[in-house]
A and B are shown apart, each in its own frame.
Chain A
């Protein structure tokens, strides 16, 4: 309990040191993007292969048709074969672009016409349909088509083979152009995937953020379980959080019970000691014994007061963290407080004057804490007043705040500052003859801080002390 108030409070949300290992969102985004990159590359290759095949098929169709036309241009003559090369054949092929065309016609193993070293197919195509194959000729890759045709030459049945080869520049050009588009498509897909991944990651992590916000937005006293609807995967986390909240609630209520119990166990035996001493004092005439008994009673009062103030201080520290804010009428609280102190003040013939300028004064705060603070102020004023004096308690409303003023005609502050007097267990230098714990003003200052109010202590004009405790109005 000798720790500073700041250290006694549990670390607030966000101020705790949490080791952050990576970001779920970044991980999600990176994973989405990796998948998108793989898909984009696969897309690129798929389009390219398909385009290559399509371009080859287109070339094959033209090449096949031209080869068939070439074979149909063969005519049987007496001395062999005559090739009447149809002009459409080459105009058909020239549509393929810059490509060069090679042909060869063989009859049996003899080349009848064309390039004699143009590669032949591995096997003779069986029917009228062209056989396609790849080969290299003059260091240039060629696409070739071969068609066989049975002919009667000199009354003999012979098989003529027409071979037509074409360089693949046109096909390559088409394939390249399609490949460029495929690449563009892949890059485009990837670029589109970036914002989509970000959006998806955000929407997946959205519930986490909403739960966080719902918990962070809570007041410090709000210990209800979290009952937001969350995705199934967050269920265990919320369950654990609610379990923790329940345990915290238990711990806090045990603290309050403990404070009350501690007070009970300290004050009850002190009461017996005090009462017994008072009886003994009444029954003995011996002065030395009476002096001792007076000292006993004084010590009991001192320790019971300290115990009370320590417990009240603990209660204030503990309640500061869970501030039970509610609206209440400060005027009613001040009136009840003054009435409660009246018999105590009368015992010393001190008058308590109450000056209520305002009617109801609604404020918001922890009523228990604020009452504890005001009790200390009135108690101090009575304690340090001379007999037959007057303690003035006033409540005014000004500039959006309610001000409780407690002024006495006592011995004053003796030059001490509020900062000095509000220090725990520090008392004014001019009050050593009066029982006190040195915690009263500490409690008042702490309550003012926790309630968003202010507390000031100043010498009163004409002697005495003036304490002002102000709270923001509702």
Chain B
């Protein structure tokens, strides 16, 4: 996905960009509303991540102006203030969703997907691997014309693997991306999801290989 990040705190903006890029997304950064305006004039974005308090104005007003001008790009507001009060403000102002800082990348991606799904999927997210077609937006996998629905963790697990085919991911690495750090995870949790995904991949040439002592990787026979 291609994001426009409108955030004035440079440290935070830099690390959010890095993290999004690590997951294979494209990101442009605007440190002010004026810069955001320039970016929007020059490129199309799948999603705008908009902070509320910016040096040259209020993100909510910027959004309202954007909507009045007929721009209906999907917008997720980021707030570091009271979650409830800002949520009402943000949604009333035309935002598609909101995120309270600090947020996990997985949460951002989940919300972005939900917004794009609601909007009818503007982003070109469908990807091809071996003999299967994978659409993370609708959380479906199509193998030989048969559509299979993925649950959220199956989807995210497959997304991680399919973004780097043949690369070995350790259980820990997968755990860290699949589970929230706030919850306790049992040792065999990842095996459960790998097992489920293998069943969904049944009949495809793509398969998840266990590399003993190292982890898992996606390969196509």
Q: Do A and B bind each other?
A: yes
Binds A, one of B16-24, B26-34, B119-127: B16-24
**A98 CA / B75 CA spacing, docked (Å):** 118
A294 touches B110 (CB 8 A): no
> Chain B residues near A263 (CB, 8 Å)?
80-82
Of B82, B91, B106, the most chain A CB neighbours within 10 A belong to B82
Binds B, one of A1-9, A127-135, A344-352, A450-458: A344-352
B182 touches A294 (CB 8 A): no
B110 touches A344 (CB 8 A): yes
A338 sits at the interface (CB 8 A): no
If over half of B's interface residues share one DSSP class (helix, strand or loop), that class is named, otherwise mixed; here it is helix
> Chain B residues near A340 (CB, 8 Å)?
87, 97-98
B83 touches A375 (CB 8 A): yes
* B108–chain A nearest beta-carbon distance, Å: 10
Of B88, B101, B182, the most chain A CB neighbours within 10 A belong to B101
A300 sits at the interface (CB 8 A): yes
Looking at chain A, what size class is its interface with the partner chain?
35 or more
B106 touches A264 (CB 8 A): no
Q: Would you give the 0/1 interface string for B1-31, flagging 1 where the beta carbon is closer than 8 Å to chain A?
A: 0000000010110011011001000000000
26 A-B contacts, Cβ less than 8 Å apart? A259-B82, A261-B81, A267-B81, A268-B101, A272-B11, A275-B15, A278-B105, A279-B15, A281-B176, A282-B176, A285-B170, A290-B172, A304-B101, A315-B82, A340-B97, A343-B114, A347-B106, A348-B153, A348-B180, A348-B183, A349-B151, A367-B88, A372-B84, A383-B183, A387-B153, A435-B182
Looking at chain B, what size class is its interface with the partner chain?
35 or more
**A336 CA / B97 CA spacing, docked (Å):** 11
A270 sits at the interface (CB 8 A): yes
**A308 CA / B82 CA spacing, docked (Å):** 7
B152 sits at the interface (CB 8 A): yes
B84 touches A312 (CB 8 A): yes
Q: Would you give the 0/1 interface string for A252-277, flagging 1 where the beta carbon is closer than 8 Å to chain B?
A: 00000001110110111111111110
Contact of B9 among A272, A336, A371, A383 (CB under 8 A): A272
**A271 CA / B78 CA spacing, docked (Å):** 11
B180 touches A273 (CB 8 A): no
> Chain A residues near B88 (CB, 8 Å)?
367-368, 371
A344 touches B15 (CB 8 A): no
B53 sits at the interface (CB 8 A): yes
Which B residue's beta carbon lies closest to that of A350?
Answer: B152
Which A residue's beta carbon lies closest to that of B21?
Answer: A279
Which A residue's beta carbon lies closest to that of B11?
Answer: A272
- Beyond the given pairs A276-B15, A433-B184, 4 more chain A to chain B contacts, judged by CB atoms under 8 angstroms and listed by A's residue number, are A266-B80, A267-B101, A282-B19, A368-B85
Which A residue's beta carbon lies closest to that of B23?
Answer: A282
Which A residue's beta carbon lies closest to that of B86?
Answer: A260
**A387 CA / B184 CA spacing, docked (Å):** 11
The 7 closest A-B pairs by CB, nearest first: A271-B102, A435-B182, A267-B80, A275-B15, A274-B102, A271-B101, A343-B110
A298 sits at the interface (CB 8 A): yes
* B59–chain A nearest beta-carbon distance, Å: 12
Contact of B107 among A276, A279, A347 (CB under 8 A): A347
